[in-house]
Amino acid sequence: MSNISEKIKDLRLEQGLTQPQLAKAIGVSNGTISFWENGLNTPNSNYIIKLAKVLQTTTEYLLSADNIANTITNQQIKQLSQDEIILIEAYRNMSQGKKQALFSMLDINPHFTELPAQGKNNDNSRK
């Protein structure tokens, strides 16, 4: 999946929902869902939150660009323990230097020279 329109459609189908069912669940018209899934419009932040809840995913997943983190399936996300979620969120809020120190402490050599920047303004909560 590469963009939000594909993610919405794929997650909707994965949940066994029709466009009208999803529309009713989040309070929009059937046409709005169709527009979103066809990339003709993009949901605002309020609807991103509602979509994440109904589609049993995270707002970050819906908004993120394709990268290695997106290879995690929704089923794997659901299986994360609360401790794992806390650790992931703490990692995402670390400075670049702290991330590098963590890799060093764990004796992990990442395959990239610079870690991707993750600002504290990202919506990293699991909805």
Chain-centre distance for alpha carbon 20: 23
Distance CA 18, CA 35 (A): 14
Give the Cβ contact number of residue 5 at 10 Å: 18
What is the model's pLDDT at position 111? 56
- Tens-of-pLDDT digits for all 127 residues of the chain? 458 899 999 999 999 999 999 999 999 999 999 999 998 999 998 999 999 999 998 888 888 765 444 456 666 777 888 888 888 888 888 888 888 888 888 887 765 444 444 443 444 443 3
What is the model's pLDDT at position 103? 83
What is the model's pLDDT at position 51? 95
**pTM for this one?**
0.52
What is the model's pLDDT at position 88? 84
Q: Scanning the structure block, which residue is given the tokens 């702290």?
A: 98
Q: Scanning the structure block, which residue is given the tokens 């870690």?
A: 115
